[in-house]
Structure 1
Amino acid sequence: MARYTEAVCRLCRREGEKLFLKGERCYTDKCSIARRAYAPGQHGQAKKKMSEYGIQLREKQKVRRFYGVLEGQFSEYFEMAARRKGITGENLLQILETRLDNVVYRLGLGTSRPESRQLVTHGHFTVNGKRVNIPSYLLKVGDVIALATKSRSSEKVKAISDITGGKVVPKWLEYDAENFTGKVAALPAREDIDLPIKEHLIVELYSK
């Protein structure tokens, strides 16, 4: 499956805001947005007036990059959200938030979503006692996520714990730091998602 493999800081600059793709670095003065707050490329500093379609497209691209989702999968998530009861845009964000890699990140078991995705892919986590290595695995209320026993003593995990030790876990999740386990206590409500997203623009884009 194709995936973006170039410098991820370029994605933040393209969207004009932090996407928190580099973990701890994003909170320092080394962040590319802090140093060069304009789009990459020779025309990056030029002022451009965007069309309505362009604004909607940029919002979709930003959300895709926040969660590290490819185009085809994002479209599937939108269709899934449209079939559910409730507000389509909020349903979409709820689906994205309940991906396993995102939940690992929200629990503080990874310093960024890309790192959390890599940890899941390498088999470091279990869901309800069974090893799951699929980052896009969608969790349900009551599911228990745990760091695999063999992974708990690794230097990588210790380093992550040192960085994320004071991270606030969203109220829709429960976390036992001593045992490296988390639980989906409820589905996330819109107010629980702290990302600067205007989901109605994405709905408008797909409604054309």
Structure 2
Amino acid sequence: MARYSGPVCRLCRREGAELFLKGERCFTDKCAIKRRSYPPGQHGQGRVKVSDYGVQLREKQKVRRIYGILEKQFRGYFETADRMKGVTGENLLFLLERRLDNVVYRLGFATSRTEARQLVRHGHFTLNGRKVNIPSIQVKPGEVLQLREKSRKITAINESLEAVVRRGIPQWLELDKDAAKGTMKMLPVREDITMPIQEQLIVELYSK
């Protein structure tokens, strides 16, 4: 399946949660799920009995949509997390959090992960002084992400940095706004991921 290119507000309504896919719009009264908190479509307001499998599937789809990952790639992350030491569900979330596009978003250089992925693809950042354009790169503790000199006048990036206070920066990252760079201080922990995610349901789904 190709990457979804339709109206992203429908995805939030389908999952019944704010996924913050639309940037600053998600923090305003224009947010679709605040106006219509039921699934899209003509049967959206009907009563639907959801099975255990359905609950697990929806949780997996929700996390995929939050991070903008296709199914095959998401399954690969799960298999990697399953081979790692520790709790599989938490390992999965840590791998997703350490993606370069997510780090760009978390540091406030973009208002959404989709926008962050585009900025990375267009080569606006360096990692440890080297130009990068692969959104899935796993950032490691101690590595420095910096906005390239020629990209510092981009209005959208500057506006996003000014608005990052609303979203907050997690403790495992450090932002130097004046130098337009961020550092990964440590590995993320479960408490840093504040989205309403029940990762155990995903583990149960893939363990069948």
Aligned to 1:7: 7
Specify every segment of 5 or more residues in structure 2 that has no aligned partner in the other structure, as ranges: none
Residue 63 (structure 1) shift: 0.3
Residue 117 of structure 2 corresponds to residue 117 of structure 1: yes
Aligned to 1:106: 106
Aligned to 1:52: 52
Within-5 A mapping of 1:121-136: 121-136=121-136
Greater shift in the superposed pair: 97-106 or 161-170: 161-170
TM-score by length of 2: 0.97
Residue 141 (structure 1) shift: 1.2
Residue type of the alignment partner of 2:117: R
Alpha carbons of 1:159 and 1:134: their partners in 2 closer, same or farther (altered >3 Å)?
same
Aligned equivalents of 1:168 and 1:35: distance in 2?
Answer: 25
Aligned to 2:76: 76
Identity %: 62
Q: What SS does the corresponding residue of 1:146 show, helix, strand or coil? A: strand
Residue type of the alignment partner of 1:87: V
Aligned equivalents of 1:156 and 1:175: distance in 2?
Answer: 17
Aligned to 1:163: 163
Residue 121 of structure 2 corresponds to residue 145 of structure 1: no
Contact conserved, 2:104 with 2:116, CA < 8 A, in 1? yes
Aligned equivalents of 1:114 and 1:154: distance in 2?
Answer: 17
Residue 119 (structure 1) shift: 0.9
C-alpha RMSD of the superposition: 1.2
Aligned equivalents of 2:136 and 2:68: distance in 1?
Answer: 10
Residue 178 of structure 2 corresponds to residue 178 of structure 1: yes
Aligned equivalents of 1:192 and 1:150: distance in 2?
Answer: 32
Residue type of the alignment partner of 2:4: Y
Contact conserved, 2:109 with 2:158, CA < 8 A, in 1? no
Contact conserved, 2:95 with 2:138, CA < 8 A, in 1? yes
Contact conserved, 2:142 with 2:185, CA < 8 A, in 1? yes
Residue type of the alignment partner of 1:155: T
Greater shift in the superposed pair: 53-62 or 138-147: 138-147
Deviations 1:160-193 (A, max 9, x none): 2233255421111111111011111111011111
Specify every segment of 5 or more residues in structure 1 that has no aligned partner in the other structure, as ranges: none
Greater shift in the superposed pair: 33-42 or 167-176: 167-176
Q: What SS does the corresponding residue of 1:106 show, helix, strand or coil? A: helix
Aligned to 1:91: 91
Q: What SS does the corresponding residue of 1:145 show, helix, strand or coil? A: strand
Residue 57 (structure 1) shift: 0.4
Aligned equivalents of 1:102 and 1:161: distance in 2?
Answer: 15
